[in-house]
Amino acid sequence: MSQRINYIQQSPELFKKFLEFSNLLKESAIEESVRDLVSIRASQLNGCAFCLDMHVKEAKIHGERELRIHHLPAWRESTLFAPRERAALAWTEVLTKLPEQGVPDDIYERVRTQFSEKELSDLTYDIMAINAWNRVNVAFRTVPGSADKAYGLDKANLT
């Protein structure tokens, strides 16, 4: 696979502002481990190899267990995820693959039992961001692993 265009070079100011937005999410009310799971799951759903590669490496650096990463596509059947994580994954899936009829009340209610209004708002912004990153990287075929050194992801020791 080869990259179509380098969107960072073509739109440096937009990239800089969006990166700033994404970096602000690290200070949100959502814990790092949940943000990692959300980023991996959305990237799986969107078929974004670049983001999937990046966020699996980040999760490993952050201490995530490999088995949990392997279980993400089957999180509903897995016993490895806490109720809060399950709610975040359900919210990620419904916002990533928006149904025609909108977000079902039962999913919203399940998420509201696990997250405060502030947390749910922050989680939603996190999901918005990863979906946007997925779309730009899928569109322009960003090569997985191509930014490892720049982002310190080589420390994950995954090849």
Give the integer Cα–Cα distance in Å for 130 and 102: 20
Helices 12-24 and 117-139 pack at an angle, to 10 degrees, of 150
Domain boundaries, the chain: 7-156
C-alpha distance from residue 10 to each of 5, 46, 53, 90 (Å): 8, 23, 23, 35
The class that CATH gives domain 7-156 is mainly alpha
Q: pLDDT band at residue 13, thresholds of 50, 70 and 90?
A: very high
Residue 22's pLDDT is 96
Among candidate residues 33, 9, 22, the one with its CA nearest the CA of residue 131: 22
Indicate if the pLDDT at residue 29 is higher than 80: yes
